[in-house]
Amino acid sequence: MAEAPIVYVVDDDASVRASIGFTMRSVGRRAICFESGQGLLELAAALPPAVVLLDVGQDGSEGVSVQRELWRRGIDFPVVAMVGNSDTQTAVNAINAGVSDFLLKPFSAQDLIATVIEAERRFRSPERQHARAQEARAMLERLTAPERRVLAAVTSGMPNAEIADELGISIRTVEVHRAMIVRKFEVQSFTSVLRIALGGRVTHCPTAPRPPLHDAVAAGR
């Protein structure tokens, strides 16, 4: 009988580790848990390759440092960053550091399972990552120039108020653009948009020149 696939869980919250472990066992996987990234690093060289669910901390620095240290040691584990809800900049930093994917806390068991399975598949088949990047670029082609500017700003970690100020439009206009992006990506939430854009490594969207300070939408026309 084949051994159950392993998933490494790194989180300083015992209840989170227990919950993830339970969910992983429900889909035939074995969770090996660590309280810190350092704990994983101490044993990493002797561990078989497997998905790592890594809590990246409040500012993301811990997760980025763990990912970079794994790479420095030549250890190729697919890492999924677990970041705070709506913490876009931390997710961007983690993706740029080389993590495979991210989960926004709190996440559902369904999202957790789907993300782990997809990370396993991409690890076994690099072509899947290429296909993911192609999907992200195809989605971007559907967007107008203003929508691309807004998406680029969001994926850089800017909140709506800063985006409005930077682009010279109203917050309401930003919200309208975000809603249209969700619609054109054919998903249910902007979090799903971020997963496609960041997961496809498309964090810098092509943009057109900045519009005048008061565009037609902001003016209510």
Lookup result for tokens 């677990």: 82
Lookup result for tokens 């969700």: 182
Contact 93, 60 (CB under 8 A): yes
Q: How far apart are CA 100 and CA 85, in angstroms?
A: 18
| Residue 26, number of CB atoms within 10 A of its CB | 10
Instruction: Enumerate the β-bridge partners of residue 31.
Output: 7
**Domains located in the chain, CATH noted:** 6-127 (3.40.50.2300), 135-199 (1.10.10.10)
Q: Give the per-residue pLDDT at 217.
A: 36
Contact 27, 72 (CB under 8 A): no
**Amino acid letter for position 93:** N
**Amino acid letter for position 190:** F
Q: What is the DSSP letter of 205?
A: -
Report which secondary-structure segment, H or E, holds 14. Answer: helix 14-26
| Cα–Cα separations (whole angstroms), residue 129 to 11, 45, 49, 86 | 26, 25, 18, 24
Categorise residue 133: left if φ over 0, alpha if ψ from -120 to 50, beta otherwise.
alpha
Q: Which residue has the higher pLDDT, 84 or 169?
A: 169
| Residue pLDDT, tens place only, 153-200 | 888 778 899 999 999 999 999 999 999 999 999 888 887 787 777 766
| Chain CA centroid to CA 117, Å | 15
Average pLDDT score over residue span 31-45: 94
Helix ranges restricted to H, 33-144: 37-43, 61-72, 88-97, 109-124, 126-141
pLDDT at 205 over 90: no
Q: How far apart are CA 140 and CA 113, in angstroms?
A: 27
| Cα–Cα separations (whole angstroms), residue 41 to 36, 54, 72, 74 | 9, 12, 11, 12
Q: Tell me what percent of the residues of the chain surpass a pLDDT of 70.
A: 83
With CA atoms as reference, report the closest residue to 150 among 74, 69, 215, 81.
215
With CA atoms as reference, report the closest residue to 154 among 116, 119, 194.
194
Q: Give the per-residue pLDDT at 206.
A: 46
| Residue pLDDT, tens place only, 108-123 | 999 999 999 988 988 8
Q: Is the pTM of this model over 0.75?
A: no
Lowest mean pLDDT among 9-18, 20-29, 119-128, 163-172: 119-128
Q: Give the per-residue pLDDT at 211.
A: 42
